[in-house]
Amino acid sequence: MNALWYSFHHISEDLYLGDIKEDTALLAESRQLNNKVECEQTRKNNNEALNYYQDLLNDWVMFKEGQSKGFVEWCENKGRNYYWVKAYYYER
């Protein structure tokens, strides 16, 4: 999950840090491993997180087919609800 978080943590700035093929494979592998988790609640929580990242990745791919800036606005216009990492910029 941390690797997926890292890939997406700047996506609200139109910057995806991951590799689509690698993250797709990671999502598939994570789903397979999660199916072996015995605790039902943990498995459910993991599935929700994996679904979130899968949806985010799918939307990013669709977004990039038509434009390169404004992913947050694109998501809002499509009714997608994601949480964005807050960014803080400091000047000297």
Tens digits of residue pLDDT in 37-75 = 999 999 999 999 999 999 999 999 999 999 999 999 999
The share of the chain scoring above pLDDT 90, in percent, equals 89
* In a domain? residue 18: yes
What's the pLDDT at 86? Answer: 74
List, in order, residues 6 or more apart from 7 with CB less than 8 Å away.
16, 17, 18, 19, 23
* In a domain? residue 19: yes
Both tokens assigned to 10? 């700047």
Give residue 76's pLDDT band: very low, low, confident or very high (50, 70, 90): very high
Both tokens assigned to 45? 């929580």
* In a domain? residue 82: no
| Counted domains in the chain | 1
How far is residue 86 from each of residues 7, 59, 64, 75, 77, measured CA to CA in Å?
15, 20, 22, 17, 20
Range of the domain at 27: 2-77
Both tokens assigned to 25? 């494979």
